[in-house]
Amino acid sequence: MEKGKSITTLAIYLRNLRTILNRALDSELITRKNYPFGKGKYIIPTGRNVKKALTIDQIRAIKEFYTVPGSLSDRAKDFFLFSYLSNGINFKDIARLKNENIKGDQIHFVRAKTIRTRRDYTPIKTSLRAETLAIIEKWRSPNRSPKAFLFPILSEGLTPKEETAKIQDFTKRINTKLKEIGEELKLPLKLTSYVARHSFSSIAINQAGAPIEYISEALGHTSLNTTRNYIDSFEDKRIKQITDSLL
């Protein structure tokens, strides 16, 4: 392993390599004999599962945190909450949302990652709460045509490279302000856009008792093992509730 690279980083690189080799295998460019992964072969290491989820009280503290209306901090807080309340939608997919993705009292969308890696897919559906609608109305683009972007993050006619740069810049700016908000609130972890996704899955299963199959579908995962990586261990209170209900 290259010096300075963690087990988690190594695992990310190797999973990407495995995806490429899987496609080569499907296209019969390589044989199963030459495939290095699987039973009796190389096992990709699993990185340490660092806690990335907040409690519902901590989410509420973020919601109540004062930010100057219209400021970048205000925008960061709102988009964090939008992500959390919308099945943990990641910021790339937020940027790609269009007006046509709003279907009545729901948002229907397909992850950019899913479009890129799968031929068949089912749209993810998330209900629109009053708070989510308020965030949309506050930050949405003035163009209300169905094909127009919901938020003024991207614009039509961008090349893939330009789109990627815009999304990375948007996410970086948001994360800078989220970090400041997290420090002000003395949260136990670095507050980033990704924490919203992990918090949604953890709170949904621990507080609402949602089945892992629902969480997996809501996150757009193809494997329950991927979903399990998002979910923190059951809280002690929840474990006690389950145990107490057995008799």
Task: Measure the CA–CA gap between 22 and 79, rounded to whole angstroms.
Answer: 36
- Residues 47-103: tens digit of each pLDDT: 555 568 899 999 999 999 999 999 999 999 999 999 999 988 989 999 999 999 999
pTM: 0.72
pLDDT tens column, 189-239: 999 999 998 888 888 877 766 667 766 666 766 666 666 665 655 555 555
> What is the predicted pLDDT for the residue at 203?
82
